[in-house]
Structure 1
């Protein structure tokens, strides 16, 4: 990888408020000490539950770790009970926001139109959207790439002339929560195809692709330059796993010199 590895962690709704703060404190200590963070080899971001965001921003301030949210609304203000705007997320100190996760699509019925509108809301508020894409069932890598590109294209098209620097999180839905990630060669082929497509989009300059879907230690080294990083879930609840992945980043950077 020729640019810093992007390592994202979504805490979903597994941790309580104090548990989140304790975990973030431990991750901040790791970031302080790890050469991959100090040397600019990795960009680490954490997406906690909404109520914990201000506390997490405070914990990570000056520690080389960015904070984001797991969702946002497509309008910046108004009578939208229970929703949170990108404007407020930015004001709170967020840098990233996740959109389009398979759980949001399945449980809350979020359509391509809604995902695109939320992505545009993130962009106009200076947040980096983490756009989740992934085929619902296993298919050929070629078919999977076509499915994912269709979803990303809807987002890029909605952005229009607005610069759309995205983190595209490839998470095949059949691998989310599974015991193992998708096969390495499968991931590589899909991600390289998506990355090649993104490179041809003039308003998507600087976009990155990361792999999620039961990602954990050992995978980044196997995927090599097919991805720009990983998007982690429950396996990152163990801070030791985060250390292991940052170690992989450092080893890969040394090997690339």
Structure 2
């Protein structure tokens, strides 16, 4: 059965002390939550590099995975300012966010550069959280074609291993509302099919990000494997509400499998 994965990236919104307070708030809100006991639900938080150890202290005992917001495409060596995938793994980081639209736009990251980061992460045993999505609003079929092409380019030459693909239409990031459910469903189904047709990607998931919040996962149902949250999850209650939906989705999937 495909897992349901829900997580949040803090980007650079919080300083370290503010992040620590948020970690404590989230840990208290999720203590005993059914999502943390469900073997088919995965929960992750992606802080800044400097906040990784603080996040691990708050979340390791709860089973919440900690990720990083970037990773170097290079191995250890003379690459000033870079953080290697090997060091992330050594630091207990389990996911690396790669290819976010802000990295592509602000820092000129190409698909070739993103693919190198994906390869480095998989080689070190760190799961890539690969962000893909069309820049301009368009019809769903065209968006799916563009996004699947980007997915294939970003996975080109990568070693075997599962990835988490976050479909994030750029035009929906930071918007008042997420992309329409019908639009999301068309694209995520095509991304899932592309992963299923790619040898060595067993266990991969497709989640949605882009102004995602409570209620969306329930509306999307089996068309996604979870949500990638942003500012909505700065309210710990919103994070917990989405995890309620994740538990319900995982339970429904198990029941269908049992009947099959």
TM-score normalised per structure 1? 0.95
Q: In 2 relative to 1, CA 70–84 (structure 1 residues): closer, same or farther, beyond 3 Å?
A: same
How big is the alpha-carbon RMSD for the aligned residues of Structure 1 and Structure 2?
1.2
Q: CA deviation at 1:37?
A: 1.5
The structure 1 segments of at least 4 consecutive aligned residues displaced by more than 6 Å after TM superposition are: none
Q: Which residue of 1 aligns with 2:213?
A: 216
Question: Are 2:26 and 1:27 aligned?
Answer: yes
Q: Which residue of 2 aligns with 1:248?
A: 245
Q: CA deviation at 1:72?
A: 0.9
CA distance in 1 between counterparts of 2:251 and 2:117 reads 38
CA distance in 1 between counterparts of 2:39 and 2:30 reads 11
Q: CA deviation at 1:28?
A: 2.1
Unaligned stretches of 5+ residues in structure 1: none
Q: Which residue of 1 aligns with 2:10?
A: 11
Question: Are 2:249 and 1:234 aligned?
Answer: no
SS of aligned partner of 1:36:
helix
Q: How does 1:146-157 map to 2 (within 5 A)?
A: 146-157=145-156
Q: CA deviation at 1:30?
A: 3.1
CA contact under 8 A between 2:97 and 2:131: conserved in structure 1?
yes
SS of aligned partner of 2:13:
coil
SS of aligned partner of 1:209:
strand
Question: Are 2:117 and 1:109 aligned?
Answer: no
Q: Which residue of 1 aligns with 2:160?
A: 163
Q: Which residue of 1 aligns with 2:47?
A: 48
Question: Are 2:172 and 1:175 aligned?
Answer: yes
Q: Which residue of 2 aligns with 1:39?
A: 38
Q: In 2 relative to 1, CA 165–252 (structure 1 residues): closer, same or farther, beyond 3 Å?
A: closer
CA distance in 2 between counterparts of 1:172 and 1:34 reads 30
Question: Are 2:204 and 1:207 aligned?
Answer: yes
Q: CA deviation at 1:51?
A: 0.5
Q: Which residue of 1 aligns with 2:91?
A: 92
Q: CA deviation at 1:155?
A: 2.6
CA contact under 8 A between 1:156 and 1:204: conserved in structure 2?
no
Q: CA deviation at 1:41?
A: 4.0
1:12-31 residue CA offsets vs partner (Å, 9 max, x unmatched): 00001011111112222333
Which is worse superposed, 35-44 or 63-72? 35-44
CA distance in 1 between counterparts of 2:252 and 2:49 reads 39
CA distance in 1 between counterparts of 2:49 and 2:204 reads 25
How many residue pairs get aligned? The number is: 254
CA contact under 8 A between 2:29 and 2:237: conserved in structure 1?
no
CA distance in 1 between counterparts of 2:247 and 2:116 reads 37
SS of aligned partner of 2:220:
helix
1:48-89 residue CA offsets vs partner (Å, 9 max, x unmatched): 011011111122122110001000111121121111111111
Q: CA deviation at 1:164?
A: 3.0
CA distance in 2 between counterparts of 1:163 and 1:92 reads 22
CA contact under 8 A between 2:136 and 2:170: conserved in structure 1?
yes
SS of aligned partner of 1:33:
coil
Unaligned stretches of 5+ residues in structure 2: 256-260
TM-score normalised per structure 2? 0.94
Question: Are 2:49 and 1:59 aligned?
Answer: no
Q: Which residue of 1 aligns with 2:138?
A: 139
